[in-house]
Amino acid sequence: MGKRWNQERKEDPYYQKAKKEEYRSRASYKLLQLNKKFKIIRKGDRILDLGAAPGGWSQVALEAVGEEGRVVAVDLQRIRPFTEENFKSIKGDFTTREVKEEIISALEGQAAVILSDASPKLSGIKDVDQMRSMDLFQAVMEMCDSTLRYNGSLIMKLFQGPQFPEMLKTVKKKFRMVKTTKPPSSRKKSVEMYLVARGFRGTR
């Protein structure tokens, strides 16, 4: 990421908007737009935000759930705390047993919604990156099985590629309604796609 990338970022209208409106990330607008369209997050919900740093999606989720709700954010990097008492951040790998146990304890019940705007650590090697993307997807699916309530919802980022249809098929087995969309704040040249799923069937 050189000077050109930094310049493009500074000129980005959503980057400027985030600075002005005090959101931690331009990505906040992706969740704002998705939630406005699909009305997934409601007052009082328990939310699990995976791959949450720097906290842009958690910030939006906190606004949406209000004081009655709860937001638990997990990332390998430290997430700067919010002032709200119903926010809990966990630094660690959510695929490990220890962190999963910490998540379950912090949620104080099952999540109504799981969020994931996470991206795998890219190497630039196509086959390796596709495998890492699939591994991340599977990890999020496992978190749904262990922490998402029956009839709960999922919003997550996926990348369009050879494995995209397979990932979509997996989600459709677990949820009653599945849609894919690209919010206006998602960069046009990006291959990212957002999946919105409702009606978690639960584990069998």
- The catalytic residues are 157
**CA distance to 70, 71, 85, 109, 161, per residue, from 66 (Å):** 8, 10, 11, 17, 37
Dihedral sign from CA coordinates of 71, 76, 78, 80: negative
Residue 47, token pair as written in the block? 């939310």
- Contacts of range 84-93, beta carbons closer than 8 Å, 24 or more positions apart: 86/62, 87/58, 87/62, 89/52, 89/55, 89/58
Interatomic CA distance for residues 99 and 169, integer angstroms? 28
Closest CA relative to residue 107, chosen from 119, 117, 99, 118: 99
Would you say 25 and 77 are in contact if contact means Cβ atoms under 8 Å apart? Answer: no
Would you say 198 and 150 are in contact if contact means Cβ atoms under 8 Å apart? Answer: no
Residue 50, token pair as written in the block? 């995976």
